Amino acid sequence: MTPSAYMTDETWKGMVRSMCQGIRAMPKIRDHEDWWCLLSLDGFGSHLCPEALEVFAEFKILVFKEEGDSSQICQAYDQLVAKQDKKVVRDLLDVLRFYKHGVVGQWNLIFTLNTAFNFCNNDSWRQSHIRVNTCPSQLVPFEQWLKKHEKGVNAADRFFEKRDSLYDAMPAAWKHMTEAQRREVCAMLDLFEKKSDEDPTKALWDVDNVRKLMELGYVKYDDIPKLRGCHLTAKDDPSVFVNPVPLSEEDVQKKEVKRMRQLALDVDYSCFTFAPSHLMEPYVSDKKKHPPIVGPLPKGVSRLWNKKRSVDIAAVVFRHMTNFVAMHHGWHTGSDLVPSAHLQVEVTKEQVDMLNPTPRDIQMAAIVDQCSGKKAMKVIAKRRIEFIDGNVNSYARILNGPQQLRRIKCVNDLAASIAALQREDEVKAGLALEDKKVKDAEKAARKEERDRKEEEKRVRLAPECKEEVDKGIDNVLSLTNLRRKEILKYHFNITSGLANMRLADTESKLRELMGAVVEDNAGKNNSTGEGGNAEDAMAVGNEGSMAIEANDNVALPLPALPQPESAAPAGHFEPCDWNRFFGCVMAGIEPKDRCQHAGCDKIIHHACSTNAEMRQFEVDDPEGAKDLREGRILDATCPYDSCGGKYCLDHHPHAHVFQEC
């Protein structure tokens, strides 16, 4: 017994073997062990379970699925017996809940249903079988019975008139593809079948075939079983490759009528909603179009109501809401909402109920109205493809014949291959996740190390930068571009855009920042008065500098570049030409290399040239320079490399960059 008392796939698979043993042990059947039996079942989902169908085939029991809504067993039951059952079951469940005082279990439900069956009399069963022509004593010839039910049979025939293609039964995965993609998928599946037929050892749906299908780019794992069923359907009905012809004008009109019928039903049912959408949408739109007046109001104008708004739209909403309140808080709640006694009008309960229908009354009236007369329409039921053998689910068919069993095996192979590929993808995803975690940890460690070194550099350079700033704007502008960027970064806390700043950019930024500093200092000095700071002027530049009042707004002259401290003593040998840029890294050692530029005879150290290139790279891209030094990027080079050439500062291939600094 299942927890819900309903049939499930697992329950059906568990009981099928015992059921088959009982069928084979029945009289007459047990005398013919080699004969096949035919078992008729309806289209309940669990009855289509492939594992159960294989068990039936093992016991030589052929399972036949009946046409949808045509069970010879249920037709009689649905006539009169089912109605009596439901009536009795409803009363029995009320009694059961009263005495149970808790959750009703599955055994209680089965017992209740069996009790309800006992309340049905024999005459109900007899009349039900007579109605569907299954009563043995009242059988009518089939032709006569068809003539008696001619109208119903003609209606059923019209049900299949427009079924000229199975395209409507195809799944969404098929409909979303183009015609070329559908034919490409089917051609690939035909090729798989051909190779499998030529080589019996090769499975039709192995992992390689599934992988090839996935390589098309527009096929998903979940869609492969569906496309396999579509391929089988396309063999029998090639019209499913092509999208159906657009609807005719008549069909479009019928579709519009159906939409209007639904709209009419919504309008009828709107009386049970306080703010129905078909009334609120025009009201809200009109309110947004003419909002309340903002600001001083003219005489006689209300701020809450714009005179341009539609009074009729608001009145419709108002009337509906008042009627709603009256209906739901009036007669149905037992109050005395009746005509005035002065009118001398008597109102009966039947009249009150007729004028105040319930939601159920409205729904039943709409159903009756749309099921008869001119509003009645013949709606074609939807169909779906069954993906094992490509047939329509509701059609009658054999479920476990030899061909169906082969297809069931193909489906099982396909499911196993897809599961194997999904496991591979999960393993790859897990490895990728672990690799990402390792890389993220390494990246975090590198960032932490960079932050530590950056903080050490800030602690070391911040006092030096402050000293340079305290000497004045001329002193700062006399420094190299690298030193200016260090001042901007570690003294003024400018962190964005430094890599792209050239000489003119840093000068403009420093003048802007230090000008503000000068003005602030001037304000402080002026505010101190006689007892203030005695330093009323700021020293600017180096040798030969002049004193400028702190509050003078004049352009400060740029002094000449000072000689680096690393310059070699005069008189020993000619200094390295790169001494003018970042200083000579081999001070005291006579340079032997000459500039390769034609006509230039300047003496250099090749090591000084390489040092200048890397220093400039560190200024523009600190991370890239660090990766290059530590060898993290293979085949990486410095963007300012001279490719092995030996050049002075003026003739280096990137001289314009160095000279700006």
Strand order in the sheet with 37-41: 37-41, 61-65, 397-398
Q: Residue 617 corresponds to which tokens in the numbers above?
A: 């790279």
User: 566-613, pLDDT tens digit by residue?
Assistant: 444 444 678 888 887 767 777 778 888 888 888 888 888 888 888 888
Residue 150 pLDDT level (bands cut at 50, 70, 90): confident
Question: Which residues does residue 297 pair with via DSSP β-bridges, in sequence order?
Answer: none
Mean pLDDT value across the chain: 76
Please report, rounded to a whole number, the percentage of residues in the chain having pLDDT higher than 90: 7
The span from the CA of 171 to the CA of 383, in Å, is 10
Mean predicted confidence (pLDDT) in 328-343 = 60
Question: Which residues does residue 392 pair with via DSSP β-bridges, in sequence order?
Answer: 385
User: 646-661, pLDDT tens digit by residue?
Assistant: 888 888 888 877 766 5
| 3-state SS track over 425-460 | HHHHHHHHHHHHHHHHHHHHHHHHHHHHHHHHHHHH
Is pLDDT of 339 > 80? Answer: no
Mean predicted confidence (pLDDT) in 64-68 = 76
Residue 24: predicted pLDDT:
92
User: Is-contact 203 413, C-beta < 8 A?
Assistant: yes
Q: Among 12-16, 432-436, 470-474, 634-638, whose mean pLDDT is lowest? A: 634-638
Is pLDDT of 215 > 60? Answer: yes
Q: Residue 217 corresponds to which tokens in the numbers above?
A: 């780019």
Q: Is 25 or 558 the better-scoring residue by pLDDT?
A: 25
Residue 61: predicted pLDDT:
92
Q: Residue 428 corresponds to which tokens in the numbers above?
A: 């790859």
Q: Is 168 or 470 the better-scoring residue by pLDDT?
A: 470
Q: What angle do CA 229, 234, 237 make, to 5 degrees?
A: 130
Q: For strands 61-65 and 37-41, give the pairing.
A: parallel
The torsion angles phi and psi of 75, rounded to 5 degrees, stand at: -60, -45
Q: Is 550 or 640 the better-scoring residue by pLDDT?
A: 640
User: 252-282, pLDDT tens digit by residue?
Assistant: 776 666 666 666 666 666 666 778 887 888 8
- The residue whose two tokens read 């012809």 is 245
Q: Is 251 or 345 the better-scoring residue by pLDDT?
A: 345
Q: What is the pTM of this model?
A: 0.44
User: 405-427, pLDDT tens digit by residue?
Assistant: 887 788 878 888 888 888 888 88
Residue 356: predicted pLDDT:
65
Residue 657: predicted pLDDT:
75
The span from the CA of 661 to the CA of 648, in Å, is 15
Is pLDDT of 525 > 60? Answer: no
Q: Is 350 or 12 the better-scoring residue by pLDDT?
A: 12
Residue 325: predicted pLDDT:
76
Residue 25: predicted pLDDT:
92
User: Is-contact 655 649, C-beta < 8 A?
Assistant: yes
User: Is-contact 579 568, C-beta < 8 A?
Assistant: yes
The span from the CA of 376 to the CA of 390, in Å, is 33
First vs last C-alpha separation in the chain: 87
- How many Cα atoms are found within 13 Å in the side-chain-facing hemisphere of 617? 20
| CB crowding 247-267: b at 16 or more within 10 Å, else e | eeeeeeeeeeeeeeeeeebee
